[in-house]
Amino acid sequence: MKKIIPIIFLLFLLINITHQEEKIMIPKDAIRFRIIANSNNITDQEQKLKVGLTLNKYLDDLLKEAKSKTEAEKIITNNLTTIKNKVTQIAPENNINYGENYFPEKEYHGIKYPSGNYESLVITLGKGNGHNWWCVMFPPLCLLEGKNTNQEDVQYKFLIKEIIDKYKS
């Protein structure tokens, strides 16, 4: 009986530590990317997604060689005119802001990301009264989407952790 109690305690501790490691948070030096739709009607939401797909590919290509947040900031700042032009081709009424921007609380894959002001590129389409889409531009986590099965969720978490670890050093 005396041997069972420490074993149970160790198992409990191991399960708790393993569970905490699965909760991968966004690095503090991350740069976020957010697009806010004009409204929630289908056309405006499709427009938001089209802007997201267009810019996601463009930004991913731009930032793939950035090794630090400072490098990523310079790349984004130097390309704001091109970003604005790409957005305007899809959504003529828009506002682009790169800097400290407010993000509401978000829960994704069981992880709560707190609200607050974060360095980010925020694109507001039209009046900006619709649902938004956001991701992390640097380190590049935008193109990663979790799937519905547990196995794929674990792969997703390990892939994100691998990317975050790569940019920590």
Question: In what side-by-side order are the strands of the sheet with 132-138?
Answer: 94-103, 116-125, 31-36, 132-138
**How many folded domains does the chain comprise?**
1
- 22 in a domain, yes or no? no
pLDDT in tens, 73-82: 999 999 999 9
CB contact at 8 A, 35 and 120:
no
Distance of alpha carbon 2 from alpha carbon 38, whole angstroms: 64
Task: Assess whether pLDDT exceeds 70 at residue 128.
Answer: yes
User: Which has more pLDDT, 151 or 50?
Assistant: 50
Find tokens 């909760």 and name the residue.
Answer: 23
Share the mean pLDDT of the chain: 78
- Residue 82 lies in domain: 27-168
- 17 in a domain, yes or no? no
- 10 in a domain, yes or no? no
- 19 in a domain, yes or no? no
- 58 in a domain, yes or no? yes
Distance of alpha carbon 132 from alpha carbon 145, whole angstroms: 16
pLDDT in tens, 68-123: 999 999 999 999 999 999 999 999 999 999 999 998 888 766 777 888 999 999 99
Task: Give pTM, 2 decimals.
Answer: 0.71
